[in-house]
């Protein structure tokens, strides 16, 4: 146990050191090699973050994007897991619908953004649906593959004992596919943020996507990089939360 804690602490130190080296290299390049207009610098970004925090703009934009992405990811998880279980259960029907499903999966979801704006307006629902459309297929495909990889003996045993389908799903299928669900969450975090940003770019008055677009329109490179850095930090924190939750719920199997 002590050795595992030491190993984890050592990895955290190495990751922190690597991050500091990268930030230092970026600062040096921006100060002595590159024009800050094109690359900005970490020190300038830190100043902008402090300015946005004092004005309250940082919380205003971050809360909007997190709400949109979080709701889209949650809805995608619920619908995707349910659809994945149904497709795994009714394999013949899923095979018939597979061409249409894969066609929708391959469709660039950015093309749906104008429709979502027309259907739901420029408010929260359009951004949520954009995030939802980005992640739902990931959950469906992962769940289908997870169920196919299962050992069928426990399921067959439950059926011989006249267990209801709902009981089998709750007691056998869901615990078995938990690693696949958490893998979908890790992939879906970035995609849900992309969906939220696309929605904000097309029509919004707040959010990190709106802030980045406005900064780009004003040739404010530091503002663009500030928005990107915030998104990277949010994605890293969300992934870390998912890793911790998966380790706790699956015993390290995810």
Average pLDDT, the chain: 83
Who has greater pLDDT, 61 or 110?
Answer: 61
Domains contained in the chain, CATH given: 43-250 (1.10.3720.10)
The answer to whether residue 146 scores a pLDDT higher than 90 is no
Pick the closest to residue 140 from 107, 194, 94 (CA basis).
94
pLDDT at residue 132, rounded to an integer: 94
Q: pTM here? A: 0.82
Could you read off the pLDDT of 99-118 as tens digits, one per residue? 888 888 888 878 888 888 88
Q: Is residue 92 predicted with pLDDT exceeding 90? A: no
Q: What is the 3-state secondary structure (H, E, C) of the chain?
A: CHHHHHHHHHHHHHHHHHHHHHHHHHHHHHHHHCCHHHHCCHHHHHHHHHHHHHHCHHHHHHHHHHHHHHHHHHHHHHHHHHHHHHHHHCHHHHHHHHHHHHHHHHCCHHHHHHHHHHHHCCCHHHHHHHHHHHHHHHHHHHHHHHHHCCCCHHHHHHHHCCCCHHHHHHHHHHHHHHHHHHHHHHHHHHHHHHHHHHHHHHCCCCCHHHHHHHHHHCCCHHHHHHHHHHHHHHHHHHHHHHHHHHHHHHCCCC
The model's pLDDT over 166-178, given as tens digits with 9 standing for 90+, comes to: 777 777 777 778 8
* Most confidently predicted of 20-29, 31-40, 195-204, 220-229: 220-229
Contact between 138 and 188 (Cβ < 8 Å): yes
User: What was the pLDDT predicted at 8?
Assistant: 64
Supply the pLDDT for residue 211.
92
Q: What is the pLDDT of residue 224?
A: 93
From 205, 245, 189, 232, select the one nearest 73 (Cα to Cα).
Answer: 189
């Amino acid at each position: 146990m002590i050795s595992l804690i030491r190993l984890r602490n050592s990895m955290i130190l190495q990751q922190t050191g690597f991050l500091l080296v990268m930030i230092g290299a970026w600062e040096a390049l921006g100060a002595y090699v590159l024009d800050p207009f094109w690359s900005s610098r970490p020190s300038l970004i830190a100043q902008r973050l402090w300015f946005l925090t004092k004005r309250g703009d940082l919380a205003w934009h971050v809360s909007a994007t997190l709400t949109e992405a979080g709701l889209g990811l949650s809805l995608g998880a619920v619908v995707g897991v349910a659809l994945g279980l149904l497709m795994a259960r009714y394999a013949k029907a899923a095979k018939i619908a597979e061409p249409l499903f894969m066609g929708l999966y391959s469709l660039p979801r950015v093309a749906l953004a104008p429709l979502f704006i027309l259907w739901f307006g420029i408010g929260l629902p359009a951004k949520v649906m954009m995030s939802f459309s980005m992640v739902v297929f990931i959950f469906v495909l992962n769940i289908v593959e997870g169920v196919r990889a299962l050992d069928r003996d426990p399921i067959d045993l439950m059926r011989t004992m006249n267990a209801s389908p709902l009981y089998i799903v709750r007691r056998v299928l869901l615990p078995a596919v938990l690693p696949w669900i958490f893998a979908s969450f890790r992939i879906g975090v970035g995609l849900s943020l992309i969906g939220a940003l696309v929605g904000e770019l097309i029509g919004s008055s707040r959010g990190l996507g709106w802030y980045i677009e406005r900064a780009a329109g004003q040739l404010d490179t530091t503002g663009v990089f500030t928005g990107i850095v915030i998104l990277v930090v949010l994605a890293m924190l969300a992934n870390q939360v998912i890793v911790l939750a998966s380790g706790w719920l699956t015993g390290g199997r995810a």
